Amino acid sequence: MTAVESSVAPVETVRRRGYGRWISVAVLVVLAAAPLFLAPFATTTLSRVLVFALFAVSLDLLVGVTGLPSLGHAAYFGSGAYAAGWVSINVTAEAPVPLLAGLGVGALAAALTGWITARSAGVFFLMLTLAIGEIVGQVANTWESVTGGANGLTGVPAVRIAGTPLANAGYAHWYVLAVFAIGFALVWVVARSPFGDALRGIRDNEPRMRALGYSTSYYKYAVFVLAGGVAGMAGSLLAAQQRLVSTADAGFLISSLMLLAVVIGGAGSLWGAVLGAALVVIVRDALGPTFDGHGPLVLGIVFVAVVYLLPRGAAGLLRRRSG
């Protein structure tokens, strides 16, 4: 690269980052204004998209940034949802108590199980996380006094702020959007920090990182706990948004759908995971009835098309056009 080219490249990078910030602000403004012109059902669907988008972002921190594909990440999402729902019913629904309960329990569950998974990689990590997810699902199904068993945890009250319940779809949406923005910003900062650089080094060549003196198991354990905490945050939003938590919310199906969302959006691109989650939720929950129950089939076709046509997901397509 010549001296002129090397001086132009940083300028172009700064310019793209500036565009990215303005686009992010514009998207947040549109999302915040959505309840003013959308019907309550559409607003609720949009809130649900944000809930699962935060879940997908936490999973992308493992899959795309660190190279740890997990099939049991819903265990921490479900743990956070049950914790937030139980606290809202039995203690208080005043924000941010349910949110902190979901975050704390999600991180604690990840801390208790991460010491096993952090020592593995590849297919062994995949199978261990799958087993942990199944165990948590069975616990949720049998611990009826806390989780409600097969009937689920019902009667979750609306989150309150200063004593005012956010029962209106618009108010609930603004609460979900605020927490989503905080969670996304947290993961974004971590992914772009020196810690995030070390995680990408582990993803690309773990033996070399160990040879350089990095304790890769420590890094993997730390990011596993962090991802579990953010998934717990998303779980607390689920409890606040749908006012019900069931065993399906901690099961394998949710984990696999969010892994699908990360692949469709583009692993390693946090906003790509958001796009993937939006596609999955809209096709499965909003448009599913119009497909006569064939929503999963449509998702499968989309997944196959992305794998063959867009190896880097939707994020890779947009980057290629902008570059």
In a domain, 323, yes or no: no
In a domain, 315, yes or no: no
122 in the Ramachandran plot: left (φ > 0), alpha (ψ -120 to 50) or beta? left
Identify the pLDDT of residue 321: 55
Mean pLDDT of 27-34: 92
Tokens of 151: 């009937």
Identify the pLDDT of residue 163: 84
Supply the range of the domain harboring residue 152. Answer: 35-310
Asked whether residue 267 carries a pLDDT value surpassing 70, the answer given is yes
Confidence category of residue 16, pLDDT binned at 50, 70, 90: low
In a domain, 209, yes or no: yes
What is the number of other CB atoms lying within 10 angstroms of the CB of residue 300? Answer: 12
In a domain, 11, yes or no: no
3-state secondary structure of 148: coil
In a domain, 82, yes or no: yes
User: Is the separation of the CB atoms in 40 and 33 below 8 Å?
Assistant: no
CA atoms of 76 and 191, how far apart (whole Å): 20
In a domain, 5, yes or no: no
In a domain, 16, yes or no: no
| Range from 13-22, 167-176, 199-208, 263-272 carrying the lowest mean pLDDT | 13-22
User: Is the separation of the CB atoms in 76 and 61 below 8 Å?
Assistant: no
Confidence category of residue 322, pLDDT binned at 50, 70, 90: low
Looking up residue 81, the CATH number of its domain turns out to be 1.10.3470
Asked whether residue 288 carries a pLDDT value surpassing 80, the answer given is no
In a domain, 230, yes or no: yes
Number of domains in the chain: 1
* Per-residue pLDDT tens digits for 122-168: 888 888 999 998 899 888 888 888 888 888 898 899 999 988 888 88
Identify the pLDDT of residue 301: 82
What is the number of other CB atoms lying within 10 angstroms of the CB of residue 131? Answer: 15
Identify the pLDDT of residue 285: 77
Mean pLDDT of 13-24: 70
